[in-house]
Homo-oligomer: A and B are copies of this chain.
Amino acid sequence: MIEKPVINAAEAAKMVNEGDVVHVGGFLACGSPLGILAALAARGTKNLTLVCNDTAVLDEKNGRVTGVAPLVKNRQFRKMIISHIGTNPESQRQMNAGETEVVLVPQGTLAERVRAAGCGLGGILTATGLGTEVQEGKQVVQVQGRTFLVEEALPGDVALIKARKADKAGNLVYSKTARNFNPLMAMACKTVIVEAEEIVNIGEIDPDQVHTPSILVDYLVKA
């Protein structure tokens, strides 16, 4: 197996270009690549499109600013494709003020749209969102007498994800609920950068227990 370059967080942040669609793993920052996100906030790259479960927590009064929240505050995103912004009042403010385009996507649909991109599917058919604002502007298909929305694949330029453990080839193992969107995003983006808590030698991960196979990973960052 071929070893993947190990870079630092600042080098990882440099790989995100202005205008990129960036997939960020994590669920309310649990399982987000915090080191890379801090470097990307410091670098200040603008005009990004965020694909993420949520905009994490922005609660400066209580000193809780997590995950992508600093980047939201920095106005680094021109668009967010996201299932939940309820714990980050700044993202709600930007949405209501029309400063940032926010596309709310049901969480399960978001997961499938990211997966579809990674799996070379054009999209999936789901009943989620029928009869709601989510349906607006979408194609509808009948299957066996039932109605489904066509939800399109959602690919990205760069995936910033977090793993518990990587081997030097890039095989990944996630931990507990820090797994969430990470393995899906690892399939869906042109460049995949992984912040790993531990980087082990090739052969140290049981091949039956690999969550993301090495070929999907481009760069490793030690957390």
Using a CB–CB cutoff of 8 Å, the interface residues on chain A facing chain B are: 112, 116, 119-127, 139, 141, 143-144, 146, 148, 150, 152-153, 173-176, 179, 207-209
Contacts and interface: CB of A to CB of B under 8 A. Distances in A.
Nearest to A126: B121
Residue of A123, A125, A153 with highest tally of chain B CB at under 10 A: A125
A150 B125 contact: yes
Nearest to A155: B144
B126 A143 contact: no
Nearest to A175: B208
Contact of A123 (B124, B153, B176, B208): B124
Given A173-B208, A208-B175, A123 B143 contact: yes
A122 B139 contact: no
Contacts of A174: 208
Given A143-B150, A209-B209, A122 B116 contact: no
Given A139-B141, A143-B153, A208 B121 contact: no
A138 to B, nearest CB: 11
A126 B150 CA distance: 12
Contacts of A112: 119, 121
